[in-house]
Amino acid sequence: AAAGSGLRSLSSAASGLWDRLSVLGAGVSKLEKALGDHFPEGERYFGLENFGNTCYCNSVLQALYHCIPFREQLLEYYATYKNTEDSEDNLLTCLADLFAQITLAKKRTGVLAPKRFVQRVRKQNELFRSYMHQDAHEFWNFLVNDIIDILEEDCRTANSSPETTPEEVSNRAANALANGARERPLVTLVHRTFQGILTNETKCLMCDTITAKDETFFDLSIDVEQNSSLTSCLKSFFSTEILNGEDKFFCDKCSSLQEAHKRMKIKKAPHVLVIHLKRFKYVEQLSRHKKLSYRVVYPLELKLGSMSEDADCEYSLFAVVVHVGSSPNHGHYVSQIKSHGNWLSFDDDTVQISEESTLQTFYGSSREHCGGNTDHGYILFYERLGGKS
């Protein structure tokens, strides 16, 4: 119902948008023919044009567009800000425009040119101005943090205006802000979709006092090991560390340095869990980064178990950003997306049906220097099962 109301608002706010839309190709596409009667009603599958090594951007955008909770909230934001006369262009409005262009497209498939969005990214961050190969994870981090900054600034601007009522503040943010934003830290569509809370626990081995500190996260960056699984890599990430020798912990109760056990745990699991596999490692002997092609098996269904305070927390994989190439400094990015039960491959302007079994080809190589396949899962997107956290 929420999605339906959001789309109705979208339609009323989208006057003139199609005039700015560049769609290539005509007639019934190969993808439409391939899906046939199984093409999801109301869904759109659009490739994104590459503007000179912007595959890092396109692959992350496809994962975000097919993250339904994020898409629905962003489209609601779009419907509201389009009705605001004094709204200025920024990265969030450009992203909302792009999502609306796809959603409101008359055709079910095609290719879009995200030129305005890419131009805005390059204007905003010099890291992405060159036509060199970029890191999709760095782009992901930049994008989500910039969206938060924009919404926080929106809230500050609205609150500082003497004419602005609380109702207008709420409308300006179009469900991107949570109720009570003035009193509590701002909760945006990014926080609601991707934010989790980690608890860092340190236990003094002398007095058994536990010191706990919470920190928020939007993704987990996990070290990878050869011939391992995502679950085992996560268990290593959350394993207990012994603090001794020069690393002893200062215990406030003992008023001295003591040996301690330190571990992390997920206190609040996010609605969408994003996991970054750290495949690019700096090697001091080489004075450069190298890509780790290690075989890491990631499951379609992920259970956090003892890693989370909610031991029954379970997730389902819906997107994989894949790095293609043997080096961190060159290569290509594509996305594998699960939409309405079908797996699809998004490779810049090309969208094709994929098979679930194809995901196995992105696990990595069981031998480091065997050559051959260089397509490896890099960023994994899991949606929580059983409703929101």
**For residues 269 and 386, is the Cβ–Cβ distance under 8 A?**
no
Question: Is residue 370 included in any domain, yes or no?
Answer: yes
pLDDT at 9 (0 to 100): 55
Active-site residue, from 137, 191, 332, 376: 332
- In whole angstroms, give the CA distance from residue 28 to residue 342: 19
Structure tokens that stand for 209 in this block: 């006092």
pLDDT at 23 (0 to 100): 43
pLDDT at 272 (0 to 100): 98
Q: Which residues contact 81 (CB under 8 A, 6 or more apart)?
A: 87, 93, 96, 172, 174
> Which residue type does 122 have?
R
Active-site residue, from 55, 94, 204, 251: 55
- Closest by Cα among 157, 63, 167, 84 to 380: 63
Question: Is residue 183 included in any domain, yes or no?
Answer: no
Whole-structure pTM value: 0.86
Question: Is residue 241 included in any domain, yes or no?
Answer: yes
- The total domain count for the chain is 1
DSSP 249: E
Structure tokens that stand for 307 in this block: 């890693």
pLDDT at 16 (0 to 100): 41
Helix 55-65 to helix 115-124 angle (10° resolution) is 110
Relative to beta strand 109-112, strand 45-48 is parallel
Tell me how far CA of residue 287 lies from CA of 52, 91, 283, 290, 293, in angstroms: 27, 35, 6, 10, 19
Q: Which residues contact 22 (CB under 8 A, 6 or more apart)?
A: 112, 113
Question: Is residue 260 included in any domain, yes or no?
Answer: yes
**For residues 39 and 125, is the Cβ–Cβ distance under 8 A?**
no
Question: Is residue 104 included in any domain, yes or no?
Answer: yes
pLDDT at 286 (0 to 100): 80
CATH (domain of 258): 3.90.70.10
- In whole angstroms, give the CA distance from residue 364 to residue 291: 11
- The domain of 55 spans 44-153+188-385
How many CA atoms lie within 13 Å of 80's alpha carbon, on the beta-carbon side?
19
Whether 330 is a known active-site residue: answer no
Whether 55 is a known active-site residue: answer yes
- In whole angstroms, give the CA distance from residue 261 to residue 256: 15
Q: Spell out, as residue ranges, where the chain has pLDDT lower than 70.
A: 1-27, 85-87, 161-184, 368-371, 387-389
pLDDT at 20 (0 to 100): 41
pLDDT at 177 (0 to 100): 46
Question: Is residue 75 included in any domain, yes or no?
Answer: yes
Question: Is residue 149 included in any domain, yes or no?
Answer: yes
**For residues 211 and 202, is the Cβ–Cβ distance under 8 A?**
yes
Sign of the dihedral through C-alpha 239, 386, 317, 290: negative
- In whole angstroms, give the CA distance from residue 314 to residue 220: 16
> Which residue type does 353 have?
I
**For residues 377 and 362, is the Cβ–Cβ distance under 8 A?**
yes
Question: Is residue 146 included in any domain, yes or no?
Answer: yes
- In whole angstroms, give the CA distance from residue 140 to residue 380: 12
